[in-house]
Amino acid sequence: MHRSSPILRAIVDPLGSHVEVVDVEGALDPALRSELLALKAPQPIEFAPKQSFGAISASCNTVAPGDIQYFGGKAANYGLLRRSIPTNCPPAIAFSFDLWDAFLDQTLPGGTTLRAEIARRLAPYPNYPPDIISLRTTLGAIRDLFTHTARFSAAQQRAIIDALAVFNPNRKIRFRSSTNVEDSEHFTGAGLYDSFSGCLLDDLDGDTIGPSQCDPGEPDERGVFRALQKVYASFYNDDAFLERLRHGVEAAKVGMAVLVHHSFPDEEELANGVATLRYALTSTGTEITSGELVTQAGATSVTNPDGSAIPEVVTFDRTLIRTQRSSLVPLGGGYVMGWPGEYWAFMRLFTTVGDNFHQFYPAKKNFYLDFEYKKDANLGLVVKQVRQIPDPTTTNSTVGYLIDQPTTYGVLQGGYADVFANHRLKSILTLHTANMRLSDSNLVHGLYREATFEYVENGVRQSSSGPMNSWPGASNSIDGSRNYWTTGSGTNQRSWRLETQFPRAVTGSQPPVLTQQDFDQDSYSKFLTVSYAVPMPTPGGGTTNETIRLTPFPQLMPGALLQERTWKNTNVAVQTSFYLLQPRGVCICTAPLIRFDQTRITGLSSDPVVLTNYFSQTYDAGRHNWGEAFIFEPRLEPGLPQSTLAELRAANVQLLYVQTHDTNATFYVLGLDGKFRALP
């Protein structure tokens, strides 16, 4: 086998994000390794090449989403806001690519144009990946050209000042990056470029001496030309250039336009947030079907968090539900904004924008929009940005690759099967998958290669191991989702079926490389079914088929819920302690068992029966863990005294079944004769 480096996977799910390293040393053949390396090749970005608008600026009242080639994505989309909700987004203008190109065409002191000088300095980096250390130095020097060497001409300055005449010169003006390779349907480019504020009076006062006339607390002047040039310089931010280089974007086709409106002073900002919403076309129009609003109190940024505060999260699925509180709102202090009125008010604004977006793109039946919004002390509810984001269910869809990550499974105890199925199918199953692409031709051989299976037969622990296709009666379905085998013989024969639900294709933020642990999320599960040659006893009669759900063998972690139960009847007393899994987030569900700590039973034998083993104790519960059931089978406990086992056999005791209702419990014994009897 070819020596392989570990695989690094970045995973995003509703509970957060994490990075995982998968060891594939010696596990990949050269062909599969080459296929996996090919996945790293970036896909070309679809974008509208910049074009000349014929003027350096325009009011955003006249700009539309289709004008991205003139004003970039952010400004073009802002035009949608002005058309849709003009009273809830400030007036704005946009500087076109015409101004950008004119700035690049200026002649520098050395005699070359700024455009030519940039091209010369970047010539050593035609391909990805470049020499990062050298490139960072080069890009820093290019940004310095924009901010300290290049200048707007006198004519350009007059034109810029004329365009900014619609704004109050005493207030800060915000200049926001708006390239044609961001905020589009195919690529968001979020966080790659920078925005800056400037004061028009600082450029009109005839000097360069501070303080700023828009902010006396700022000791130096902060003019609008300075702000514009800093936005232009951010076109060559390290990550921005690397992304364009990685995707093979032609430099001549892209540029920096600028969206301009008044700044939002921090002291006036009561809340800020981001909403990501899914829209669908219905018989009554465009409706929001799901999404979430992430909001923070005051000016603590949601889009550029510093990690010091947790934002509020409100999800939408026909109604609004808060799933996370803001750490900046005191306990008992309620919501970041007025609940629920202001949240619904924003949802109505977002719905209006979605309706207008669909008018521009009538062929889109389903789409996602991302909004930035604020609650301002003077302006009220403000929407400051909208952009379409790729549909995560359709973007970059590809058939996934499965990499072996050996995983040990046990029975999910609580919320799926009944306690007798949990107990009789109590097993430990360690699975090794194939390393392969999840194609039809590969799946005909099954998902799994090696396995170890520990189970119980007639009160005795048994095991099977090795290649699964070598086990008695082994086979698999042609789609790889089911494995079959048998154990025992005659009346003790059992026919087993392992069913694995798994995704074939991956999209959006899902990594293309999968492990079997990705099959253990809410959308996918593993199930183990057994068919018996003769019926197995149940309190209501008998059964020949039982199914349980498998779960990665649970580990005791901080936050586990320790539970203690004590029951007594006339002669028998049971004390048991066990741990339940603490649900994460807002969960209306049944907490499953992690493991038992210990069970102590008195009255069944002369000496107490103490159980600590996985196989000897079993749990199940109804919804919300109301109504619990327990099975305790002493003969499955390693190390139990032979004298105690002999005493239990003589008393015809195989197991004790405890059924609880509130604080009451009913005891049953299943005898070795296969019959149940109640204990008084």
Residues 246-302 have pLDDT tens digits of 999 999 999 999 999 999 999 999 999 999 999 998 888 889 999 999 999 999 999
pLDDT score for 441: 95
Stronger pLDDT, 191 or 422, i.e. the higher one = 422
* Mean pLDDT, range 559-578, rounded to an integer: 94
CA distance 494 to 424: 11
> Is the pLDDT reported for residue 509 higher than 70?
no
Q: CA dist 438 to 477, 479, 510, 611, Å?
A: 14, 10, 15, 43
Rg (CA), the chain: 33
pLDDT score for 387: 95
Q: 254 with 180: CB under 8 angstroms? A: yes
First to last CA, the chain: 66
How does pLDDT run across 449-488, given as a tens digit for each residue? 999 999 999 999 999 999 999 999 999 999 999 999 999 9
3-state helix, strand, coil in the chain (%, to 5): 25, 35, 40
> Is the pLDDT reported for residue 583 higher than 60?
yes
- Residue 419 makes CB contacts below 8 A (sequence gap 6+) with 618, 619, 620, 629, 630, 631, 657
Q: CA dist 311 to 13, 254, 587, 653, Å?
A: 17, 35, 19, 57
> Is the pLDDT reported for residue 1 higher than 50?
no
CA distance 372 to 325: 19
CA distance 551 to 521: 10
Give the Cα-Cα-Cα angle 464, 24, 485 (nearest 5 degrees).
20
DSSP secondary-structure letter at 267? Answer: G
The count of C-alpha atoms lying within 13 angstroms of the C-alpha of 279, restricted to the half-sphere facing its C-beta, is: 30
Provide the token pair at 160. Answer: 């810029």
SS3 537: strand
**Cis amide prior to 608 (ω within 30 degrees):** no
SS3 286: strand
Provide the token pair at 225. Answer: 């030309």
Ranked by mean pLDDT, the top range of 512-526, 581-595, 618-632 is: 618-632
Angle, to 10 degrees, between the axis of helix 154-163 and the axis of helix 97-104? 160
CA distance 592 to 621: 8
Phi-psi region of 376 (alpha: psi -120 to 50; beta: other; left: phi over 0): beta
DSSP readout, 208-263? --SSBTTBTT-SS--BHHHHHHHHHHGGG-HHHHHHHHHTT--GGG--EEEEEEE-
Q: Choose among 172, 180, 182, 181: nearest CA to 226.
A: 172
Q: CA dist 413 to 548, 561, 603, Å?
A: 9, 15, 27
Stronger pLDDT, 507 or 329, i.e. the higher one = 329
* Mean pLDDT, range 104-111, rounded to an integer: 97
Q: Choose among 223, 263, 224, 258: nearest CA to 93.
A: 258
Handedness of CA 444, 450, 454, 457 (dihedral sign): positive
* Mean pLDDT, range 324-332, rounded to an integer: 89
CA distance 38 to 543: 51
> Is the pLDDT reported for residue 419 higher than 90?
yes
Centre a 10 Å sphere on the Cβ of residue 355 and count the other Cβ atoms it contains.
14
CA distance 231 to 226: 9
SS3 544: strand
CA distance 384 to 374: 7
Q: Choose among 30, 22, 20: nearest CA to 6.
A: 22
CA distance 70 to 76: 8
Determine how β-strand 196-198 pairs with β-strand 407-411. unpaired
> Is the pLDDT reported for residue 586 higher than 60?
no
Predicted structure pTM score: 0.72
C-alpha 172: how far from chain center: 37
pLDDT score for 329: 93
How does pLDDT run across 16-57, given as a tens digit for each residue? 667 888 888 778 888 988 888 888 888 788 899 999 999 999
pLDDT score for 626: 84
> Is the pLDDT reported for residue 395 higher than 60?
no
E strands present in 358-427: 366-376, 380-389, 398-399, 401-402, 407-411
Please give the mean pLDDT across all residues of the chain.
93
Q: Quick one: pLDDT band at residue 80, thresholds 50, 70, 90?
A: very high
CA distance 431 to 304: 42
Handedness of CA 48, 54, 56, 62 (dihedral sign): negative
CATH code, residues 57-259: 3.30.1490.20
* Mean pLDDT, range 339-349, rounded to an integer: 98
> Is the pLDDT reported for residue 562 higher than 80?
yes
Determine how β-strand 366-376 pairs with β-strand 380-389. antiparallel
Provide the token pair at 598. Answer: 């210990």
Give the Cα-Cα-Cα angle 209, 141, 219 (nearest 5 degrees).
20
Determine how β-strand 173-179 pairs with β-strand 196-198. antiparallel
Q: 107 with 128: CB under 8 angstroms? A: no
Q: Choose among 465, 437, 426, 433: nearest CA to 448.
A: 433
Place of tokens 């006893």: 537
Q: CA dist 200 to 94, 162, 166, 225, 396, Å?
A: 16, 11, 11, 9, 45
Provide the token pair at 266. Answer: 């921090």
DSSP readout, 114-181? HHHHHHHHHTT--SSS--HHHHHHHHHHHHHIIIII----HHHHHHHHHHGGGS-TTS-EEEEEEETT
